[in-house]
Amino acid sequence: MEISDDLKEYLDLDDALSRIGGNLGLYKRLLGKFVEGNHSEELINALQSGSAEDAIRQAHSLKGVSANLSLVKIRTLSIELEHLLKENADYSECLDNLKRAIGITLEKITEFLG
């Protein structure tokens, strides 16, 4: 299945399908579950609560889910955010970029799923 270059920036379909034995139907179901989740909301809540441990855990979870689904931008920014949180460094720009990437990725997935 071919996907647009626009989508490839956010989702690596070849990598994803290689992870699940080429089962496109399964992958689409997994993407649908990702769309239904509140990934950025959970992370933001953890950050607002002031619990660095929870925020790191949420960033780590998002990193894992996005890696398993081959969601390129979300994975990259989740890795960066997790690192910044662990270093107690300023993460505001990274978080803004991550929220934007999540929003765009969700739009792209919704288009892909039709």
Angle between helices 24-36 and 92-113 (to 10 degrees): 130
pTM score:
0.89
Give whole-number Cα distances, 50 to 58, 79, 85, 88, in Å: 13, 20, 11, 12
CA distance 80 to 82: 6
pLDDT band at 84 (very low <50, low <70, confident <90, very high): very high
Q: Identify whether the C-beta of residue 55 lies closer than 8 Å to the C-beta of residue 39.
A: no
Domain that holds residue 40: 5-113
**Where residue 13 sits, what CATH number does that domain have?**
1.20.120.160
Q: What is the number of structural domains in the chain? A: 1
Tell me, what's the pLDDT at 2? Answer: 61
Average pLDDT over residues 49-54: 88
Average pLDDT over residues 28-57: 88
